[in-house]
Amino acid sequence: MRKLILTVLLLTVSLTYISAQKAPIVIQFNAGSRAPDGTVQNLLIDAGGHCTYTEDEVTGLNVASSDFNISKAQVDSFLKKANDIGFFKLQAQIHKGYDGSGIFLSMNYQGNKHHVDVTNTSVPEIDALVSMMNEILATKNIKISYGRK
């Protein structure tokens, strides 16, 4: 009987852990240096609002990392804005050279999956989305930066 109770308990904990990990990543940022030096920021946001943030030196040294939550309403609002401003219709690659600063932004919204990789140039739609995300992240003292104002 003890084995059965222990098995059920372990199964319940395992299923809870697995279900917590099932929320798909719907927003991904990778921003910063595309050169041999500098830092790169990574932000993953799942559909429920769970965020994983890291900032690393290009050499691999971790500078900062955190896990936190934003509201599902913020996630939905961000994805809706991305859709409304035409993110899902942008070219996948927009480059003005490859050694400098850049951003890779990937999203999944209502079955539409798209990514945009920008290096050494400014794209108004991307700038607007970075600005909106920075407003959301302000309370976490995180600011996504890819060398553009």
Give the count of beta carbons closer than 10 Å to the beta carbon of residue 50. 17
What is the distance between the alpha carbons of residues 99 and 8, in angstroms, rounded to a whole number? 54
Q: Give the side-chain half-sphere CA count within 13 A for 86.
A: 7
What's the pLDDT score for residue 23?
85
Q: Are strands 112-119 and 39-46 parallel, antiparallel or unpaired?
A: unpaired
pLDDT tens digits, 10-27: 333 333 334 445 689 999
- Determine phi and psi for 31, rounding to 5 degrees: -135, 145
What is the distance between the alpha carbons of residues 50 and 72, in angstroms, rounded to a whole number? 9
Handedness of CA 134, 140, 141, 147 (dihedral sign): negative
pLDDT greater than 80 at residue 77:
yes
The residue among 60 and 15 whose pLDDT is bigger is 60
Instruction: Compute the mean pLDDT over every residue in the chain, rounded to the nearest whole number.
Output: 85
DSSP 8-state class, residue 50: E
Angle between helix axes 124-137 and 72-84 (nearest 10 degrees) is: 170
Instruction: For domain 23-140, say whether CATH 3.30.1560.10 is its number.
Output: yes
Any idea where the domains of the chain sit in the sequence? 23-140
pLDDT tens digits, 28-41: 999 999 888 889 99
pLDDT band for position 146 (50/70/90)?
Answer: confident
What's the pLDDT score for residue 98?
73
pLDDT greater than 50 at residue 139:
yes
Q: What percent of the chain has pLDDT over 70?
A: 83
